[in-house]
Each structure stands twice: as C-alpha cells, then as structure tokens.
Structure 1
Amino acid sequence: MWKPDPSTIITAAMKAAEAQATTVELFRVAIQSHVDMVASSRRYDSGNSLASYVASGNAQWAAEAQAFVGWRDAVWIHAYAELDKVLAGERQQPTVEAFLAELPFIEWPAEASA
C-alpha cells in the first residue's frame, strides 16, 4: 500500500502562510517603489541614495535627506503596523493603491537661498 511522504504534504496552514508571505511581499515592493519615487521626485537615484546625503556638506541636500529619513521611518512604521492588522484579521486588506494613499506625506524643507 502506498504511504504518502509527510515531508511533501502541503497543509492548509502552509498554504495560508505562503499566501500571507506573498501578500506582504506585494505590499513591501509597492511601498519601497513609492519611497524611491518620492526620492526620484527630487532628482535622487533612490531612497537609499537620498538617505546617504544626511551628513552632506551641502546644507540643502542634508536637510532633504533628514526630512526624507524621518518620513521614510514614518511610512514603514505605519505600513508594518497596518499590515500586521491585516494579517491578524483586525482590518480588511486594502488594495495596494488604497494602502499607498494612506501613507504619510513628506514635508520637504524650504529651498536654500542662493
């Protein structure tokens, strides 16, 4: 008689965990893309590039980097908290677009005068 190999059995719990991981990754990629697009709007290559200017000798770039890093932290704090609520069943899963719309807005520093 045939006996299934327990190591190859996919359980409902495993399927649910995989679906959650896929959902989290979908949102993570979209949020990171949003963060990078915000940086690109100020002519930086990416969010990581902009954040690297935090100690720049150029006062404008350093101020933009500091504002960006604080905003980026707020974005990810909000995102993780709300995604945890989705995974715990405490809120409905929004669309990616709706979720991005609820992220904090960045407030850029005033332009330095020349």
Structure 2
Amino acid sequence: MLYSPGTKGFYSEEIHGDNIPADAVEITTEEHSALLAAQSEGKVIKWDSKKKKPVAVDPPPPTREQVVQTYKAHIQHRLDDFCRTREYDGVLSCCTYVTSKVTKFRTEALYMLEKRDETWDIGTQILADVEAGTRPIPTLEELDAELPALAWPA
C-alpha cells in the first residue's frame, strides 16, 4: 500500500498500476487499516513531514464562520420543524397566516411570530457572547436548553 502526500490519497500497485504519484511512500497494511479506522472515528489523515508518513490527527476546530452557520441553521431547523408538526412548510409559511380570517391559523401565526423573535433574539445574543469571548461555545443541546420552549397554544 502507498500514500501520496501530494494527493492525500492511498494507492495500490494492483489497482493503480503505473498511475501512482511520484511522491507516494510505502506504508504497511496495518498502518493503512489503522489510518482508515481512525478516520472513521473522526480523525483526519495528515502528512507528517518529520516521520515521512501519514498520521491520524484530530481535525482542526471549526472556524468562527462555520460555528455561526451551524448555529443559525440549527435554530432555523428547530423553528421550521416545530411548524411542520402542524403541516406548515416552515416558520415563514406559518407566520404568513397572521392576517388569516381563520382563528386557529391566526393564533398559531401570532404565537410563532413571538417565538421566532424570542428565539432569534436569544440565539443572536448567545452568538455575540461567544464571539466576544464572554462565554464558551455551547453544544447544540445546551443551545436548545437556552432557547424558548415551543408548544402550540391550546
């Protein structure tokens, strides 16, 4: 088995023949298996220039932008999924019923307008606090616990 630091890929002479990058180095079957096992557990395979072979390491932490996008998507999905329990397409669809002549739809829309605003107000404050360094990044479960509870009005 061979590994190319240039392509970050594994190669086998039986499969790839002469189409193996010039920088490929030989690794044992055991090393290959261990790298793949570590990768399946969340590690990333990286070239170690001192050891001159691939190693499994922890992935880099997410960037600020990735954290923000993950949290925003999570909050939006939480609101949308809740509205789908009443057959709305999502929170936006539900909120459009605010002027409905049907009392049930209008009541649900007013409720969701309030909960949407509360949720985003708290969610954006949490992100601002994380960004300012005044609090650690919460897990998604911790984030959910801080957001308003969602329960349809009776």
Q: If the length of structure 1 is used for normalisation, what is the TM-score?
A: 0.76
Q: Given the alignment of the two structures, is residue 76 of structure 1 paired with residue 139 of structure 2, yes or no?
A: no
Q: Given the alignment of the two structures, is residue 45 of structure 1 paired with residue 104 of structure 2, yes or no?
A: no
Q: Which has the larger radius of gyration?
A: 2
Q: Given the alignment of the two structures, is residue 55 of structure 1 paired with residue 70 of structure 2, yes or no?
A: no
Compute the RMSD of aligned alpha carbons.
1.7
* 1:28-52 alpha-carbon deviations (Å, 9 max, x no partner): 0011000101101122111111011
Residue 67 of structure 1 contacts residue 106 of structure 1 at CA under 8 Å; is this kept in 2? no
Residue 67 of structure 1 contacts residue 107 of structure 1 at CA under 8 Å; is this kept in 2? no
1:7 equivalent in structure 2: none
Greater helix content: 1
1:35 equivalent in structure 2: 79
Q: Which has the higher contact order (CA 8 A, sep 6+)?
A: 1
Report the alpha carbon displacement of residue 69 of structure 1 after superposing the two structures with TM.
Answer: 0.6
1:24 equivalent in structure 2: 68
Report the alpha carbon displacement of residue 97 of structure 1 after superposing the two structures with TM.
Answer: 2.1
Q: Which runs of 5+ in 2 are unaligned?
A: 1-61
Identity %: 33
Helix, strand or coil at the partner of 1:68: helix
Q: Given the alignment of the two structures, is residue 94 of structure 1 paired with residue 138 of structure 2, yes or no?
A: yes
Report the alpha carbon displacement of residue 107 of structure 1 after superposing the two structures with TM.
Answer: 4.5
Greater strand content: 2
Report the count of equivalent residues: 94
Structure 1 segments of 4+ aligned residues over 3 angstroms from their partners: none
